[in-house]
Amino acid sequence: EAQVTQNPRYLITVTGKKLTVTCSQNMNHEYMSWYRQDPGLGLRQIYYSMNVEVTDKGDVPEGYKVSRKEKRNFPLILESPSPNQTSLYFCASSLSWSRSYNEQFFGPGTRLTVL
Amino acid sequence: DQQVKQNSPSLSVQEGRISILNCDYTNSMFDYFLWYKKYPAEGPTFLISISSIKDKNEDGRFTVFLNKSAKHLSLHIVPSQPGDSAVYFCAAKETSGSRLTFGEGTQLTVNP
């Protein structure tokens, strides 16, 4: 089954404790992206990757890191989480980034709480 | 700077009637627009899209209208069904851009 998976689905942590949220897709997609969803703000892009070893900042990259060493995986790293990073996070992927392939497939989300 | 705005946080309609969800944008470089639907505890799923060279696109019960001069798009759902109850996000992409910009979302509730 074609899908985007994220782990963990739920995480409660404390300020300053490094964490990684994994994202994996099995569709051989080139483009991958991370979003956070907050009430009243919709979905805001954190980082994106056009292909392996190619990443770039989105609208709200502060406090986050990413890497794209393999095509299928795009982990989101919070080196020192803070309470303002409490949010619902989505990973997404699409075949490529062109006029023809704008549809992004989303993972089920990761609910992160930073105390 | 919210370049894509959905001014109605919520909308409630009766089953069988039309649902109209609205979206406004400010960036004149946007040339492709998408609607996503999101159920609780799930990721958003793609619903329908429209290119700026068109002013209308239909897919079954769903129709998206684009008014470029007004920088406005709308999603019509006819007839509305209880299973359509979800949060709907509109999103936009620039001609040479590398990412989607999303609106805040509208919670649609279709009452039986």
Rounded Cα distance between B6 and B10, Å, is 10
Q: What is the pLDDT of residues B66-103, one digit of tens each?
A: 999 999 999 999 999 999 999 999 999 887 777 889 99
- Contact in structure between B15 and B36 (CB atoms under 8 Å): no
Percentage of chain B modeled with pLDDT above 70? 99
Answer whether B98 sits within 8 Å of A45, measured CB to CB.
Answer: no
Q: How far is A70 from chain B (nearest CA, A)?
A: 20
**Inter-chain touch A40–B9, beta carbons under 8 Å:** yes
Q: Between chain A and chain B, how many beta carbons pairs sit less than 8 Å apart?
A: 56
pLDDT tens-digit profile of A80-94?
999 999 999 999 998
Residue with tokens 């990413």: A66
Average pLDDT in chain A: 93
pLDDT attached to residue A98? 66
**Mean pLDDT across B26-42:** 93
Cα–Cα distance list, A78 to A16, A19, A81, A84, B53 (Å):
9, 5, 6, 12, 41
- Is B89 near chain A, with CB under 8 Å? yes
Residue B54 has pLDDT above 60, yes or no: yes
Contact A4, A104 (CB under 8 A): no
